[in-house]
Copies of this chain bind each other. A is one copy, B any other.
Amino acid sequence: MRSQINVAVIGFGTVGSGVVTILMQNADVIARRVGVPVNLLRIVDVDITTDRGIVVPAGVLSTDLQATLEDPSIDIIVELIGGSDIAKHVMVSAIAQGKQVVTANKALLAIHGEDIFEAAARASVDVGFEASVGGGIPVLQSLTRGLSANRVSSVMGILNGTANYILTQMSTERQGFQEALNLAKACGYAEADPTFDIEGIDTAHKLAIMINLAFGTPVNIKDISTEGITGLTTLDIDYAKELGMVVKLLGIAKLYDEQVEARVHPTLVPQTSPLAQVHGVYNAVHLVGDAVGDIMLYGQGAGSLPTASAVVSDVIECARNVLIQASGTIPALSFQRNQRRPLRLRPMEELMSAYYLHFMVLDRPGVLSQIAGILGAQGISIASVLQRGRQEGQPVPVVITTHRALERAVQTALHEIHALSNFVSEPTTLIRIESQE
């Protein structure tokens, strides 16, 4: 039996600081769970002089990445650099040295996951990546272990705290998108360049990882239809409220007839839905399995300590496996590698969904009947119509919700309606509705 397990943390930023804090402050609890101490042997960063408010033992800080990756006394490498180039190098080099690896890097996994998991399987090492989806919420282990007896049919969630914070502010404080984004930056909830968060890219990365584990299929991130929240207005959020719904940025993946539907977009959900109750920077994941029914997991999806909580839980898992010499034996992607099967990703135009359509039309007689006629001709059934404010000859909003319809038909109808450009004055806002209809 080994007398301790040695860990190196690569990247001493926000999450790295959280990991270092937990490994030091909770060393006793961790040792009681693992059986031997989990020792923080090395922290590597290009900057080891900035004061991060954490006192680390002498000799732990280093700038020498390569020496750390090659140090035979290190059992587990924790990659927290972010980005995908050096991060991939760290992962692949550590795996080649037979070390267990842990990462929180969803972009890395969504883009280079196949290479990394292939290398890890060959080297029989563990890849821990619980922190890559849902921060501290145990989402991935719920798919890999908790729901392993199920045919999972749906994974859906609020996977980005920045976007959810902005939408919550827009909804509860009636702030505009830009104002809410600025506040998110001021509070440290949004990065200087928030593109990945507000354009849905971060959500798509996380969804891709969940699809792998839930459905046992590889997925190309480029094939996931991804739409962000930058086009949303408070007007739409107000109309949503009037319709008994709230707008959330959801990542949604479902399995139908051995085909995968995968998409990221602003979504209207009923106010009574558990997802509607998820406010601010909180995340939530909703899973459906044939045996378990529906499960929801809720918690802080980002931030230094919550994310580090998941990272260190993976370190503990790796440490337990090193001790019993069982590393690399539980399939990282839940399905055995030779049992993964490429499934067809349905194109967006095949989606069946209910829709919210917000038209700006000139207030003239007959306009509504023309719109309704075009929708009807495409087989789209109207569920409700809201028309507020009247100004003869001026643009007024008309909000129509539909029953479930084919995306292709809806896009065709919108195209036709806009072709009749004599009464539609602005681009139409389309928001998909997720309900149990």
Contacts and interface: CB of A to CB of B under 8 A. Distances in A.
Interface stretch (A24-32, A45-53, A180-188): A24-32
Interface in A274-296: 274, 277, 289-296
**Interface range for A:** 35 or more
A293 B306 contact: yes
A127 B7 CA distance: 29
Contact of A309 (B18, B22, B130, B292): B292
A30 B313 contact: no
Contacts of A292: 136, 299-300, 305-306, 309-310
B18 A291 contact: yes
A294 B303 CA distance: 13
A271 to B, nearest CB: 11
A121 interface: no
Contacts of A293: 136, 299-300, 303, 305-306
A159 interface: no
B151 A29 contact: yes
A194 to B, nearest CB: 23
A270 interface: no
26 contacts: A22-B150, A26-B150, A26-B151, A26-B290, A26-B291, A29-B151, A33-B339, A35-B336, A130-B146, A136-B289, A136-B293, A137-B146, A137-B295, A138-B138, A138-B147, A142-B142, A149-B310, A290-B305, A291-B309, A292-B299, A292-B309, A293-B300, A293-B303, A294-B300, A296-B296, A326-B329
